[in-house]
Structure 1
Amino acid sequence: MTQPPALAGAWFITPGHSPARFPAALGSGADVALVDLEDSVPAAVKAQARQDATAFFTSAAGTRPVRGVRISSPTTRDGILDLAAIADYPVRPDLVLIPKAESARDFEITAGALDAPGYTPHLYALIETPRAVEELPSIVRADRIAGVAFGTADYATATGCSKDWEALLHARSALVTSAAAAGIHAIDAPFFDLDDLVALRHESERARDLGFAGKCCVHPRQLPIVTDVFTPTSEQIAAARAIVAAADEAGGRIVRVGEQMVGPPMVKAAQALLARVAARTPSGVSA
C-alpha cells in the first residue's frame, strides 16, 4: 500500500461543537484538517456536534486541506451514532480517524458503516493504548487501513509513564516500524505545551527524523513550525532531483552523485520526497 503524499505534514484538529472555528481551521494552512467528535466534545453537546460538523465538509473532495473527522470509538454508542450521522452527510469526509483502535474489527465496523459506491474514505488508526502497541503488526495490515497516528495522552495515562520523548520512544519506534512495514504513514501526537514553541520544534524534528510523516497540532500557532519541519528544504529538493536524474541516466545502476554512492533505496527516498513536494505545490507553481 502506498500512502498519498497529501496526507503527510501538519494535521490540525478542531472541536466539532465550535462551528465558528471551522473557517479558521480550514484556512489555517494545515495539510489535513480534522473536526473532532470525540474527546474535545462534552457529552452534553455531542449530538449537536454531529449536526454542526456537516458545515466542515462543504468543498469538493480532493481540495486542500484534506478534510477529516475523528469519531468516537466505533465500539461505543457515541461511535455508532457518529458513523450513522456521517453516512448521511451531504459531503462526507476524506479521512476518518478511529480512536482507541486495537484490532481489525474497528476498521470493519467503520468501513461497513461508511463505504459506499464511489466513496471509500481513508481510515486512520489512533494508537493510544498499550494493547494497541502490542497489536500493531496486525492492526497495520487490517483491510482498509490507510495510516496510523499516535496518541500520547491516553497512552501515558494507561502506562503511568511521562509524556517526555524518552519515555515514549519505544511506542513511537514501534509505530513507525509497523507503519513502514505496511507501507503506510505514521503521524505523531500533538505537543501540548502551547507556549514552548522551541520545544515543539525540537520534538517535531525528532519525530521527523524517527520516520513520522507528519504531526498533529492543537493550536494554530503550532502549525507554521510543524509545517516548516516537515517541508523539505530547497537544498533537499535539489539533491533529490539530482539523485533521480542521475539514476534515470544510469538506467537503475548504482551511481555517484556528488560525494555519495546512490543505489535503489536512496532513489526511492528521493522520489518519495519529490512526491510530497508535488502534493503540496499548487498546480502551475514551481517548487
Structure 2
Amino acid sequence: MNALRGPALLFCPGTRPDRFAKAAAAADTVVIDLEDAVAPDDKDEARALALAELSELDPDAVLVRINAPGTPWHDDDVAALAAYPRVPVMLPMADLAADVEELAPRPVVALCETARGVLAAPAIADAPNCVGLMWGSEDLVADLGGRPGRTPDGGYRPAVEEARTRILYAARAAGVVPIDTVLVDIADLTTLRRDAEAAVAAGFAAKACIHPSQVSVVREAFRPTDREVAEAREMLAAAAEHGGGVFRLDGRMIDAPILAHAREILRQAGDDAADASESVTS
C-alpha cells in the first residue's frame, strides 16, 4: 500500500459484515472497526466476522482498526491479521513509535488521541512502516481532562486546535498521509463542512467519517473548484511554454512553490496533467 485512498475514510463496525462492501463502495477507504464500535463481549465475534470478509475487499481500499496495545484483544487482532499482510491497520492510542514498529512490515495508520501521542507524533510518523497519521478529538479531550473541545461557535478550542496542527506538521514532515478526525454529531453537516474545508485548506489529505451521509460533504470540501482547476492548468501550461524559472502570468509572479500547489490541485481533481507536467515545471 503506497498511499491511502482519500479523501473520505468511512468507519464500519466489525460486527456488521453486511455493511463492509457498501461502506467500501460509498467511501474511498473503509475502516473496519474492531475497537470503539465493538463492545468488549463482542470483540472475538467481530474479529472473526471481519477476517471472513477481508478477502472480498480491495486491500488497497481497506483499513482495520485493531484494539490498542495493552488491551486484552490487541495481540489476538494482530495474530488474526497475519493471513492478510497487505491490509494496513489503524492503531488507536498510538503513544510511541515502538507501538507502530512492532507491527512492521505491516503498514500502519497511527491514531494519536492522547497528550502523549500528540507530543510523540513526529517520532511515530517517522516509523518505517507508518503510512498515515490521524488525530482523535474525543479521546484527546478526555485525556486532557478538559471540557468539550468545541467553542460556542463550533470551532475547536485552542488546546485541541494545537493538537490538530501538530499532527498535520508531523505527518507532512515525515511524508505520510495526514488524516483529520471524525465529527460524532452525524446530523450536523454544517460543522462537518466547515471542519472539512478547514482541513483541506490547512493541508490534510483526508478526513474520517462515521456515517455514509458524511462522505459526500467531505468529498465536496476536498474537491477543487472548477475555477481552481482551470487556473492550475493555465499556470502549468504557461510554465511549460516558459521552460522553467520564475515568470509572470496575469500580473502574478509564478515560481516553483506555486506550480507545486497547482499540481496538487490537479491531483486532487483527478487530472492526469499534474503528473505529466511535473518533469517540465519542476
User: C-alpha displacement at 1:84, in angstroms?
Assistant: 0.6
Query: Measured at CA, do residues 203 and 233 of structure 1 come closer, stay the same or move farther in structure 2, by a change above 3 Å?
Result: same
User: C-alpha displacement at 1:70, in angstroms?
Assistant: 0.6
The corresponding residue for 1:118 is: none
Amino acid at match of 2:95: E
For residues 265 and 178 of structure 2, what CA distance do their matches in structure 1 show?
A: 15
The corresponding residue for 1:283 is: none
Task: Kindly indicate whether residue 125 of structure 2 is the aligned counterpart of residue 97 of structure 1.
Answer: no
The corresponding residue for 1:275 is: 267
Query: Measured at CA, do residues 260 and 94 of structure 1 come closer, stay the same or move farther in structure 2, by a change above 3 Å?
Result: farther
Cα deviations by residue, 1:163-197 (Å, 9 ceiling, x for unpaired): 21134111111111121211222111111111111
Structure 1: runs of 5+ lacking an equivalent: 116-120, 281-287
User: C-alpha displacement at 1:75, in angstroms?
Assistant: 4.0
Match of 2:143 among 141, 147, 158: 158
The corresponding residue for 2:210 is: 218
Secondary structure of 1:191's partner?
coil
User: C-alpha displacement at 1:46, in angstroms?
Assistant: 0.9
The corresponding residue for 2:247 is: 255
Match of 1:202 among 178, 189, 194: 194
For residues 157 and 243 of structure 2, what CA distance do their matches in structure 1 show?
A: 43
The alignment covers a number of residue pairs equal to 263
Amino acid at match of 1:186: P
Secondary structure of 2:270's partner?
helix
Secondary structure of 1:110's partner?
coil
Query: Measured at CA, do residues 93 and 48 of structure 1 come closer, stay the same or move farther in structure 2, by a change above 3 Å?
Result: farther
Q: Check the 8 A contact 1:254/1:261 in 2, yes or no.
A: yes
Q: Check the 8 A contact 2:21/2:57 in 1, yes or no.
A: no
User: C-alpha displacement at 1:204, in angstroms?
Assistant: 1.4
Structure 2: runs of 5+ lacking an equivalent: 151-155, 273-282
Match of 1:172 among 148, 164, 168: 164
For residues 256 and 87 of structure 2, what CA distance do their matches in structure 1 show?
A: 33
Task: Kindly indicate whether residue 103 of structure 2 is the aligned counterpart of residue 110 of structure 1.
Answer: yes
Match of 2:47 among 24, 47, 50: 50
User: C-alpha displacement at 1:247, in angstroms?
Assistant: 2.2
Match of 1:76 among 65, 71, 78: 71
Query: Measured at CA, do residues 94 and 237 of structure 1 come closer, stay the same or move farther in structure 2, by a change above 3 Å?
Result: farther
Q: Check the 8 A contact 1:146/1:184 in 2, yes or no.
A: yes
TM-score (ref. length: structure 1): 0.85
Cα deviations by residue, 1:27-67 (Å, 9 ceiling, x for unpaired): 21x111110011111111111111111314414544xxx11
Farther off after superposition, 163-172 or 142-151: 163-172
Task: Kindly indicate whether residue 81 of structure 2 is the aligned counterpart of residue 86 of structure 1.
Answer: yes
Aligned Cα RMSD in Å? 2.0
The corresponding residue for 1:31 is: 28
Task: Kindly indicate whether residue 118 of structure 2 is the aligned counterpart of residue 133 of structure 1.
Answer: yes
Amino acid at match of 1:103: L
Q: Check the 8 A contact 1:74/1:110 in 2, yes or no.
A: no
Secondary structure of 2:103's partner?
helix
The corresponding residue for 1:22 is: 20
For residues 272 and 154 of structure 1, what CA distance do their matches in structure 2 show?
A: 32
Query: Measured at CA, do residues 202 and 70 of structure 1 come closer, stay the same or move farther in structure 2, by a change above 3 Å?
Result: same
For residues 259 and 32 of structure 1, what CA distance do their matches in structure 2 show?
A: 41
Higher relative contact order (CA 8 A, sep 6+): 1
State, as a whole percentage, how many aligned pairs show the same letter: 34
Query: Measured at CA, do residues 247 and 73 of structure 1 come closer, stay the same or move farther in structure 2, by a change above 3 Å?
Result: same
Cα deviations by residue, 1:90-138 (Å, 9 ceiling, x for unpaired): xx55431111111111122111xxx4xxxxx531110100011111221
Match of 1:243 among 230, 235, 247: 235
Query: Measured at CA, do residues 56 and 253 of structure 1 come closer, stay the same or move farther in structure 2, by a change above 3 Å?
Result: same
Query: Measured at CA, do residues 47 and 174 of structure 1 come closer, stay the same or move farther in structure 2, by a change above 3 Å?
Result: same
Cα deviations by residue, 1:230-266 (Å, 9 ceiling, x for unpaired): 1122222222222222223223211223342111111
Query: Measured at CA, do residues 257 and 216 of structure 1 come closer, stay the same or move farther in structure 2, by a change above 3 Å?
Result: same
